[in-house]
Amino acid sequence: MTNLQEIKTLEAGISVILCTYNGADKLPQTIKALAQQQVPPEIPWEIIFIDNNSSDNSSEIATASWEALSEKLDVPFISLSETIPGKYYALNKGLRNAKFSYFIIVDDDNWLNPNYVAQAFKSIDGRPEIGAIGSRTEAAFEADNPRDPVWLNKKPERFAIGEQGSDGDVTYRKHLWGAGLVSRTELYLRIYDKYPSFLIDYSTKNILVVEDTEYCLRLILRGFRLYYASELKLFHFVPNERLTKEYWTKLNSNIDRSFEVIDVYYMAVKVYSDKYKNPLLLLRLKLLTHLRFRTRTGIKKQRQRILLGLLFPESAYNTPLIDAVRRFIQDDELPRNTTTME
C-alpha cells in the first residue's frame, strides 16, 4: 500500500477508471463511447482498464477494441489486472496508477456521451470544495428486452438510473452512484490509504457493494460537497438477466446488508453536522436519543444505539466501527474542506 508521503501532486487532467469482471461482451460498446470522446487538446486524459479477476477474455477484448478505434487518438490506454475480487480493489488499483488529478469511474456497462470527459474536467477544475460530481443516467436495453418490470420504474436509482437532484449542491442526498462519478484522485488516495474501506474491515457479512456510498459519506464527513451536473450524461446498459425478480431480490439484499456499516456513517453525518455544534441542540439530541432508544424497535432502535455510541464514546454503546469512524472524522492528517459553495 502506498505511503501517504509517496502520494505526489498530480497533473491536471482526467483519468478514466474502467473496471470489469467478466465484461467481455459489454466492453466493446463501452470502449467505443470512450473513443468517441471530444476532448480539447488542453485537457490531457487517459484510460486505465482493470480486469478484476475475470475468467473470460476481458483484457484481450478491451485492448483489441481500443486499438481498433483509436488510431488517431493520442490517449494512453493502460491495462492492469487485480486478482482480489471486488470493485473496491480494482478501483484502488486503477487510482494508484493514475497520472491525473481527477478521475471518472466508468463501469463496463456505461456509455458516456461524447462531451463527458471534457465536461467533467470543466465542472470540477478550480472548485476545491467539490468532492464528487454525479451524472444523469439513462437506461439502455437489449433489442429483445421484456417489458420493464415494475421495480425498475419505482426505484430506478437502485440500478443507478435517472437524475440525482437539481443541478448544483446535492450534499443533502448523502450519496451519488458510482457510474460516471467524477472526483479527485489524490483525495481518494489520501482517504483510503490510511483508512481502508470499513465495509471490509468492520463487516461480518463480506459486503463488497455500495463502495460509492461509503466514499461519498467520507467526503461529507471531511467537509467536501457533493454536486450534480445534468450535462454529464451516460447510458447504463441493463441486460435482460438484470430485469428478473431474482436479480432484483439479490440486489436489494446486498444493499440492505451494507447498512450494518453504512448506518454508522449516516448517523455520524448527523451528529457531526453544523447543527449540533450548538451545545443546547446537542444536549437535546442526547436526551432524545436516550428516550427513543427505550421506545423504538428493530432498525430504528439499532440506529438510536449507533447514535448513543457516537454521542457517548465512553459508553457501552460504542463499538470498534463507531470508534474508527470517529477517528476518521477527527484525523488532522487527512484533507478537510473549509470553504463553502458559491
**Domain of 215: which CATH number?**
3.90.550.10
Number of other residues whose CB lies within 10 A of the CB of residue 206: 9
Q: Tell whether 109 is covered by a domain.
A: yes
Same domain? For 123 and 13 the reply is yes
Q: What is the pLDDT of residue 205?
A: 63
Mark whether 240 and 272 lie in a shared domain.
no
183 within 8 A of 133, measured Cβ to Cβ: yes
Look up the domain containing 291 and give its range: 268-330
- Distance CA(24)–CA(28), nearest Å, equals 8
In-domain check, residue 339 = no
- b/e string for 13-48 if b means 16 or more Cβ within 10 A? bbbbbbbbbebbebbbbbbebbbebebeeebbbbbb
At 217, list the grid cell. 459519506
Whether residue 186 has pLDDT greater than 90: yes
**Mean pLDDT of the region 142-168:** 81
For residue 336, tell me if it sits in a domain: no
237, 248, 251, 229: which is closest to 139 by C-alpha?
237
Residue 308 lies in a domain: yes
Q: What is the pLDDT of residue 8?
A: 57
**How much is the pTM?**
0.93
Specify if 86 maps to a domain.
yes
Same structural domain, 277 and 220: no
Q: CA of 73: how far to CAs of 69, 120, 219, 230, 275, in Å? A: 9, 19, 34, 27, 50
Q: pLDDT-derived band of residue 340, with 50, 70 and 90 as boundaries?
A: low
Give the mean pLDDT of 265-294.
Answer: 96
**196 and 325, same structural domain?**
no
Examine the fold and report which residue of 203, 230, 259 is the final residue of a domain before the chain moves on.
259
Domain end: 259, 284, 311, which one? 259
Q: Are both 252 and 171 inside the same structural domain?
A: yes
State residue 313's pLDDT score.
Answer: 95
Mean of per-residue pLDDT scores for the chain: 91
Q: What percent of the chain has pLDDT over 70?
A: 94
Query: Do 247 and 289 belong together in one domain?
Result: no
Give the pLDDT mean for 150-173.
88
155 pLDDT exceeds 90? no
Q: Are residues 143 and 192 in contact, defined by beta-carbon separation less than 8 angstroms?
A: no
Mean pLDDT score, 44-67: 95
Q: Is residue 342 a part of any domain in this protein?
A: no
Rg (CA), the chain: 21
Identify which of 249, 238, 232, 14 has the alpha carbon closest to the alpha carbon of residue 121: 14
pLDDT at 2 over 50: no
Instruction: List 47's β-bridge partners, or say none.
Output: 16, 77
CA 45 to chain centre: 20
Residue 253: per-residue pLDDT: 86
**Among residues of the chain, what percentage have pLDDT more than 90?**
76
Question: What local confidence, expressed as pLDDT, does residue 3 receive?
Answer: 44
Residue 206 has pLDDT above 70, yes or no: no
Predicted pLDDT of residue 93 = 96
Does residue 291 share a domain with residue 253? no
Is it the case that residue 54 has pLDDT exceeding 60? Answer: yes
Q: How does residue 1 score in pLDDT terms, banded at 50, 70 and 90?
A: very low
Contact predicate 337/183, CB 8 Å: no
259-268 burial: b if 16+ Cβ within 10 Å, else e: bbbbbbbbbb
pLDDT tens, position by position, 62-71: 999 999 998 8
124 and 199 both lie in a single domain: yes
Residue-level pLDDT at 105: 98
Q: β-strands 11-20, 100-107: how paired?
A: parallel
Residues 240 and 303 in one domain: no
Segment 225-272, tens digit of pLDDT: 999 999 999 999 988 888 888 888 888 888 888 888 999 999 999 999
Choose the final residue of a domain: 259, 286, 304: 259
d(CA 45, CA 29): 19
Domains identified in the chain, total number: 2
